[in-house]
């Protein structure tokens, strides 16, 4: 929001921010024109103008005698920028770009470290495997296979990974990554996930390998993440020697 914008535009952006941030949810009734005019110190005509604009965008809907309600998540043009996101969760990045974020847990289990994972968790016997589908505006966006060492994380089966982020659980356990290393590849999606991601077997996806380290430089997360290229850009920063 730019303070040089007209007041009604500033109010529109404020309402959109509250929806994206979760302060206002789909189906919620927003405060009355009078209440918002008093709350923001502006006149009711300015409030009414902002609400009418948001109705035209389909974000709000007014019902005579009942009030005005949130109808949908604001649509903001842009893509999810990956590569320099540090330890921000994927759902937070999606919301930051003004889009609706949701997820489904496809599989959760405790498994023996196999040959493939032995390269990553050389000193571990068991890991938690969490496979989740992340969605943007209810459309499949990313399929993530996350692995957490059982020697560090306890009772992960008790946590609701559908409604809360992986990093919220890791933070609760005192091992949230504060440094994340990522590697980018371009690959096909494994056949068992084609239908759920709604992609053709010939389509290439962005594949990111994430290695998360806690404040003690201990590896606490390994995630394999397939992303739709339509929603994704990859950015990185390098330093140039003098």
8 three-class SS: helix
Comparing CA positions, the residue from 113, 80, 112 lying closest to residue 94 is: 80
| Burial environment of residue 127 by CB neighbours within 10 A (0 to 12, 13 to 18, 19 or more) | buried
* Beta-ladder partners of 70: 60
CA distance 64 to 43: 21
pLDDT of 87 > 60? The answer is no
Q: Mean pLDDT: which of 44-58, 90-104, 125-139, 152-166 is highest?
A: 44-58
Phi first, then psi, for residue 239 (nearest 5°) are -110, 145
The DSSP annotation for 102-115 comes to EEEEEEEEEEE--H
Which band of pLDDT confidence, cut at 50, 70 and 90, is reported for residue 199? confident
For the chain, list the domains and their CATH numbers.
Answer: 7-70 (1.10.10.10), 80-234 (3.40.1410.10)
Distance from the Cα of residue 156 to its chain's centroid: 20
Give the count of beta carbons closer than 10 Å to the beta carbon of residue 46: 19
CA distance 58 to 54: 6
Region of 78 on the Ramachandran plot (φ > 0 left; ψ -120 to 50 alpha; else beta): left
Q: Per-residue pLDDT averaged across 73-88, rounded?
A: 58
Q: Which residues pair with 234 in a beta bridge?
A: 82
To the nearest 10 degrees (0 to 180), the angle between helices 7-21 and 33-40 is 100
Q: 126 pLDDT band (50/70/90 cuts)?
A: very high
Whether 174 contacts 184, CB under 8 Å: no
Residue 176 and residue 167 in contact, taking contact as beta carbons nearer than 8 Å: yes
pLDDT of 23 higher than 80: no
Interhelix angle for 44-56 vs 33-40, to 10°?
120
Q: Is pLDDT at 234 greater than 60 in this prediction?
A: no
């Amino acid at each position: 929001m730019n303070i040089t914008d007209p007041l009604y535009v500033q109010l529109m952006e404020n309402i959109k921010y509250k929806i994206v941030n979760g302060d206002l949810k789909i189906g919620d009734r927003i405060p009355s024109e009078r209440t918002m005019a008093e709350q923001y110190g502006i006149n009711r005509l300015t409030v009414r103008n902002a609400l009418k604009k948001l109705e035209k965008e389909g974000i709000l809907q007014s019902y005579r005698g009942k009030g005005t309600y949130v109808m949908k998540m604001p649509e903001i043009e842009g893509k999810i920028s990956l590569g320099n996101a540090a330890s921000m969760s994927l759902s937070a990045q999606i919301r930051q770009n003004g889009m609706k974020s949701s997820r489904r847990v496809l599989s959760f289990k405790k498994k023996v470290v196999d040959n493939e994972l032995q390269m990553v968790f050389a000193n571990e016997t068991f890991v938690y495997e969490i496979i989740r589908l992340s969605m943007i505006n209810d459309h499949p966006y990313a399929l993530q296979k996350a692995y957490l060492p059982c020697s560090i994380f306890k009772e992960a089966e008790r946590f609701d990974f559908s409604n809360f982020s992986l990093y919220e659980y890791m933070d609760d356990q005192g091992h949230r990554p504060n440094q994340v290393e990522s590697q980018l590849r371009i690959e096909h999606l494994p056949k068992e996930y084609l239908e759920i991601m709604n992609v053709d077997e010939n389509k290439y996806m962005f594949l990111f390998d994430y290695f998360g380290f806690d404040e003690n430089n201990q590896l606490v997360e390994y995630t394999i993440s397939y992303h739709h290229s339509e929603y994704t850009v990859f950015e990185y920063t390098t330093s140039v020697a003098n």
